[in-house]
Structure 1
Amino acid sequence: MIIVRYRNTFFAITGAIVFAALLSVAVFGLHLGTDFTGGALIQATYENGRPAPETLSQYLDTAGFSGYSLREANENDYILRAANLTSEQRGNLADTLSVGGESPAVINQLTEVGPVVGEELRNKAVIALALVLIAILFFIAFAFRKVSEPVSSWIYGLIALVTLGHDVLIPVGFYAVLGFFTGAQVDTLFITAVLTVLGYSVHDTIVVFDRVRENLRINQERGRREDFTEVAGRSLNQTLVRSVNTSLTTAMALT
């Protein structure tokens, strides 16, 4: 199996990608959305065409908005993310978004999340992620407890966690770059996507481990001595097509 034969090369490539992802998060950071920081999410539709971003930004600045992000959506919409609105900003919101009546706007969505609720959601997301990782570790260690040679079942669990870290860090690093250049923010949908990646990753990892376990069992029954790296390579070869097909069909469903 070419992956096992040149594993040091693949380790180096993977390490470089993970390092780049970590560097992206460290340099650009992750922009937390209103779901976690508190604030307002507003979507407005313009009947006669939306104004230029610079024009709308001037009206928002005049109305006392600061630290906001403005993003175009659809053909005639704007999505505004801002801090919690004051009573005056809320009362004049329609007029502000309509740039003084020059571009009439209809507010389709106005969602406000308090800072306490946002902090609670953030804490719950972190706790949920930690519990999922612990559960995965114990589940894999328990499921592979009968295959303790030549690798301990706990090592299988730790390898699964390392794999999860790899599979999550890469899209998170990409999202950090995306957030820096486009203003994309981390919200509950992003957490859902991360948990989905975790699910697919651990499922695929368990499939490979199960094939390793089966090959080890067959070798033991037949009294065949085979190096563990060869068993791992053969197991990867047997599951590679399935892994690729799963990724492709998932990507096709999302697109």
Structure 2
Amino acid sequence: MNVVGCLACNRIEASLMFNLIQKRRIFFMLSAFVIVPGMFIMLYSWLTIGSFFRLSNEFVGGSIFDLKFTEPGANETNIRDVFVQVGDDNLTIQQLGVPEEFRWSVRGSFHDTTTTERIISSLEQIAPLDRANLRIDQVSATVGQEVTRAAFLAVIVAAVVVTGFIVVAFRQVPNAFRYGACAILAMVHDVLVVAGIMSLAGLMLGWEVDTLFLTALLTVVGFSIQDTIVLFDRIRENIPKHLGEPFETIVNRSILETIHRSLATQLNAFFIMVAILLFGGESIKQFIAILFVGLLSGTYSSIFIAVPLLVAWEKGELPFLKSIGTVSSAAVSKPKKNDTSENSLWEP
């Protein structure tokens, strides 16, 4: 009788809960409405500038000359002529600040020391240079390729490690591989959202992908994975506590039990980032803006993509993934009396 009564109470409680999982198709469509246009923007960027993003010299190699003249006389035409004389005609020249500051930024090919000195001498014939505020960054194409490979490898290693950790940590749960795969798919969701926004900002605002952008991206991945694991861990705890309930109901219960924690954590970070965007320096605003978008996407994907995707997979709504990571119910043994698998991953 007690068992029947408990089951009845669980069913009544489940019927009163707001069912987020039932609306999973809406969440999937919302993500598609953001990601698909972003992919078209990246395609347009590739067709117009030759890459999905506007890349900094750290990745493609080249030079950056930040110039400050002390007198008027410099303009885009005569600055371009100086670089063309040394064989560099693939230039991006931009005036910085107000015209009275006589500041210019020139991006071009990589130059050796001798050629750089020739360029500086020729520029000083146009107008005197403020050498104290002269900044020249040179990155060879080889170094740029190494940075690109290292960044790509970092993302791949992070994905593999996360998948392996989740599979091992959730080994007592049926179809543990699916938990890891859904976490990675949520991570890919966040990367695509950030990539689309960055591609658009590159076309409209001239933002460039640099190592600071990669730092923001990896931070977003870390926050997103952490939130996803916390949700999955609560699901793992609730499965033995609510035997007899449908998996979808257990998952929905787990989301409602942890959503306040996720939102509280992210809101604290958002308030700080908004303050930095409003009052911080220009050099860090691009980093904070990307971080803000990424964490917003990460919070959304953990709650509304990773977990609903797990439910859709378990219910066979993803035919192309149905047989992946499946184990029979006979392969899942009942927990032993001294088994602590129902305890939280974060508890000692």
Please give the TM-score of this superposition, normalised by the length of structure 1: 0.84
Whether the 8 Å contact between 1:47 and 1:105 is mirrored in structure 2 is: no
1:192 pairs with one of 206, 215, 221 = 215
- 1:214 pairs, out of 223, 228, 237, with 237
Residue 27 in 1 paired to residue 44 in 2? yes
The equivalent of 1:9 in structure 2 is 26
Checking the alignment, whether the CA contact within 8 Å between 1:42 and 1:107 is kept in structure 2 is no
Unmatched 5+ stretches in structure 1:
none
Q: Is the 8 A contact 1:50 1:103 kept in 2?
A: no
Asked if 1 retains the 8 angstrom alpha-carbon contact of 2:94 and 2:105, the reply is yes
Cα distance in 1, alignment partners of residues 73 and 225 from structure 2:
45
Measure the CA separation in 2 of the matches of 1:30 and 1:48.
36
CA distance in 2, matches of 1:55, 1:253: 44
What per-residue deviation string (whole Å, max 9, x for no partner) do you get for residues 125-160 of structure 1? 111211111111101111111122xxx110000000
Judge conservation of contact 1:94–1:106 (CA < 8 Å) in 2: no
2: CA distance, partners of 1:52 / 1:3: 59
C-alpha contact (below 8 Å) 2:72/2:127 kept by paired residues: no
In 1, Cα distance between equivalents of 2:252 and 2:73: 57
Percentage identity across paired residues of the two chains: 25
Question: What SS does the aligned partner of 1:30 have?
Answer: coil
Instruction: Give the deviation of 1:119 after TM superposition.
Output: 1.1
Bigger strand share = 1
- Measured in 1, the distance between the counterparts of 2:74 and 2:124 equals 9
Is residue 51–residue 103 contact of structure 1 (8 Å, CA) maintained in 2? no
Do 2:82 and 2:119's aligned partners in 1 also have CA atoms closer than 8 Å? no
Q: Which residue of 1 aligns with 2:250?
A: 231
Identify the range of structure 1 (107-116 vs 207-216) with the bigger mean alpha-carbon deviation.
Answer: 107-116
1:179 to 197, 202, 213: 202
**1:244 is matched with which residue: 263, 267, 277?**
263
Instruction: Compute the displacement of 1:210 (Å).
Output: 1.3
* Match of residue 132 from structure 1: 158
Contact 1:69 1:183 in 2 (8 A): no
Mark the runs of 5 or more structure 2 residues left unpaired by the alignment: 1-17, 46-51, 277-348
Q: 2:187 aligns with which of 164, 168, 174?
A: 164
The alignment's TM-score, normalised by the length of structure 2, stands at 0.63
Deviation at 1:102? 6.5
Aligned partner (choices 135, 139, 153) of residue 176 of structure 2: 153
Q: Which residue of the partner structure matches residue 115 of structure 1?
A: 141
> Aligned Cα RMSD in Å?
2.7
Change (3 A) 1:50 1:43: farther
Letter in 2 for 1:122: T
Letter in 2 for 1:7: R
Q: How many residues align?
A: 248
> For residue 234 of structure 1, what is the amino acid of its counterpart?
R
- The AA in structure 2 aligned to 1:247 is Q
Q: Following the alignment from structure 1 to structure 2, what is the Cα–Cα distance between the partners of residues 241 and 92?
A: 61
Structure 1: how far apart are the matches of 2:96 and 2:226? Answer: 35
C-alpha distance in 2 between matches for 1:159 and 1:99: 61
Partner Cα distance (1:36, 1:157) in 2: 31
Aligned-partner residue type, residue 211 of structure 1:
R
Q: Deviations for 1:188-223, whole angstroms, at most 9, x for unmatched residues?
A: 111111111111110111111111112213224xxx
CA offset at residue 106 of structure 1?
4.7
Contact 1:43–1:108 (Cα < 8 Å) also in 2: yes
CA-CA distance at 1:43 after TM superposition: 2.5
State the secondary structure of the residue aligned to 1:216.
helix
Q: Distance in 1 between matches of 2:194 and 2:80?
A: 31
1:2-30, Cα deviation, whole Å (9 max, x unpaired): 53222111111112212122222222121
Higher relative contact order (CA 8 A, sep 6+): 1
